[in-house]
Amino acid sequence: MISSKQRAYLRGLANDYPVILQIGKGGVTENLVKTVSDALEARELIKLHILENSGEDPHTVANALAAELKADVVAVTGKKAVLYRRSSKKPVIELP
């Protein structure tokens, strides 16, 4: 669990990050969970875009992925979500 100060720091970092994954009508699948897990291990902080055709609420999708991956939801703004999970092999981001 991250504090509000850490969450604000990560939100600031995520502003410059590009969206690396899009979630469409397939929703949260096992393959998507694996892909997001690999991305979190490599980058620690990722930005997702939940497309209109997914039919799901971005908060619901972000919370489902975070619970499945033991990650933290940093922010959900509009149709974009930011997730954070510290890398177990090579951590890069130092939290305040």
pLDDT tens-digit series, residues 21-66: 999 988 889 999 999 999 999 999 999 999 999 888 999 999 999 9
We report the CATH number of the domain holding residue 9 as: 3.30.110.60
Q: Does residue 32 sit within a domain?
A: yes
Domains contained in the chain, number? 1
Question: pLDDT confidence of 19, banded at 50, 70, 90?
Answer: very high
Q: What six digits make up the tokens of 2? A: 């991250």
Going by C-alpha positions, the residue among 19, 69, 72 that lies closest to residue 48 is 19
Q: What is the mean pLDDT of the chain?
A: 94
Domain that holds residue 34: 4-84
Q: Which among 23, 74, 27 is positioned nearest to 46, based on CA atoms?
A: 74
pLDDT of amino acid 1: 83
Domain contains 89: no
Copy the structure tokens of residue 30.
């096992």
* 96 belongs to a structural domain: no
List the one residue out of 46, 53, 42 whose CA is nearest residue 72. 46
Give me the residue label for tokens 């694996």.
34
